[in-house]
Amino acid sequence: MQYHFDIAKTDFGKFFILDSRKGLHFILKNTDKRVPVLKSIYKPQKKLFHGRILENFINATLGKSTSLMPKIVFLVGTNLQKKVWAYLRKIPKGKKISYSELAIKIYKKNAVRAIASAVGKNPVAVIIPCHRIVCKDGSLGGYAWGLKMKSGLLDVEVGGMADSTYRGGK
């Protein structure tokens, strides 16, 4: 199978996107240590197969609505990770839930640490909204590419309001 890639330039930095005829496979910060490995394994050609992915991803980082995305096809991940990533897509824009709530939702209430690890290994940034998962006490917790990006994504999802809790407001 032939793989394709492009680099998206956003307010959050540059992102590596990998797709194929079958669908979207990865969206990772271009500085992510997995990117050179993916390029080596899949030897992608420049220019995405599904051109609308690039525009949709950039719109998503701006808090804008996106049109229909191609199917996401995971090339990596355990069954638990794929189950977590699939559930993350169900969380509405502007809403957040805790890691423990997520564990309960996917019927793995005693696996919070494994759930948190799966969230952190999300291969499709922003489109699979792992940034919507926070700690039980409401604090942001961690994020693979830093809390500034996580809070920024949450902020654009609620319209960038000046009193956003992610900017230190109410």
pTM over 0.75? The answer is yes
Q: Identify whether residues 114 and 35 lie together within a single domain.
A: no
Q: Is residue 72 part of a domain?
A: no
Q: Considering only CA atoms, which of 87, 133, 122 is closest in space to residue 106?
A: 87
Number of structural domains (the chain) is 2
Q: Identify whether residues 94 and 153 lie together within a single domain.
A: yes
Q: Identify whether residues 125 and 85 lie together within a single domain.
A: yes
Q: Is residue 68 part of a domain?
A: no
Separation of alpha carbons 162 and 147, rounded Å: 18
* pLDDT range class, residue 65, cuts 50, 70, 90: confident
Q: Is residue 123 part of a domain?
A: yes
Q: Identify whether residues 10 and 53 lie together within a single domain.
A: yes
pLDDT in tens, 103-119: 999 988 999 999 999 99
Q: Is residue 15 part of a domain?
A: yes
Q: Indicate which CATH number applies to the domain containing 94.
A: 1.10.10.10
What pLDDT is attached to residue 160? 55
pLDDT at 169 over 70: no
What pLDDT is attached to residue 67? 73
* pLDDT range class, residue 68, cuts 50, 70, 90: confident
Q: Identify whether residues 160 and 89 lie together within a single domain.
A: yes
Q: Both tokens of residue 64?
A: 């804008």
Q: Identify whether residues 15 and 53 lie together within a single domain.
A: yes
Q: Is residue 66 part of a domain?
A: no
What pLDDT is attached to residue 94? 85
pLDDT in tens, 127-154: 999 999 999 998 998 888 889 999 999 9
Structural domain for 48, as ranges? 3-61
Q: Is residue 122 part of a domain?
A: yes
Q: Are 97 and 90 in contact (CB under 8 A)?
A: no
Distance of CA 55 to the CA centre of its chain: 15
Q: Considering only CA atoms, which of 126, 119, 170 is closest in space to residue 152?
A: 126
Please give the positions annotated as active site: 130
pLDDT at 1 over 60: yes
